[in-house]
Structure 1
Amino acid sequence: MSQDDSLSPDAFAALQARFQQQSRKAQAYYTVMHEAGKVLGGDAAADAWMNAPLAALGGQTPAALVGAGRADDVLAHVRTMKS
């Protein structure tokens, strides 16, 4: 990238905000995966669970809910699975 192609401060701030949002989503996803893995017996089972529509979650997948910013709802469901 040449100096003439540099990003404007506003464009750079927008990219930074998008990166931070994606980072938060990734952290939430892996937090849920970790908790589900403890309950379900491992990463492979947690991955399958994350991508399966669940009646308890309104027919949505845990992954979709986490992506929509509802990681707390999914974690609450995982905690009910521990009992």
Structure 2
Amino acid sequence: MEQDKPLSTDAFAALQARFQDQSRKAQAYYTVMHAVRPIAGSDDAADAWMNAPLAAFDGATPAQLVAQGRQDAVLAHVATLPSP
């Protein structure tokens, strides 16, 4: 069996940057999920809302917007939704 070779400094830095980017996206996604859950009524309903196209955003889904770094716009929209 061949020994694993250590990552170069550049490869390690690239891997670390990719991990940090994915971590930020996951944190943003769950921040929005946490905000919409009380309005949606459950985690399943909040997840469905995250993946439903919104007319307010020209048919983009909240999940797509969060992936683009637009979680503040989604959170502002959530603040306008009526509470149950």
Please list the CA deviations of residues 23-42 of structure 1 after superposition, one character each: whole Å capped at 9, or x if unmatched.
Answer: 00000000001111011111
| Structure 1: runs of 5 or more not aligned | none
CA RMSD of aligned residues (A): 1.4
Identity of aligned residues (%): 68
**Distance in 2 between the 1:51 and 1:25 partners?**
15
Counterpart of 2:3?
2
| Structure 2: runs of 5 or more not aligned | none
In terms of fraction of residues, the more helix-rich structure is 1
Q: Where does structure 1 differ by over 6 angstroms across 4 or more consecutive aligned residues? A: none
Aligned residues: 82
The alignment's TM-score, normalised by the length of structure 2, stands at 0.91
**Distance in 1 between the 2:80 and 2:29 partners?**
18
**Distance in 1 between the 2:71 and 2:3 partners?**
41
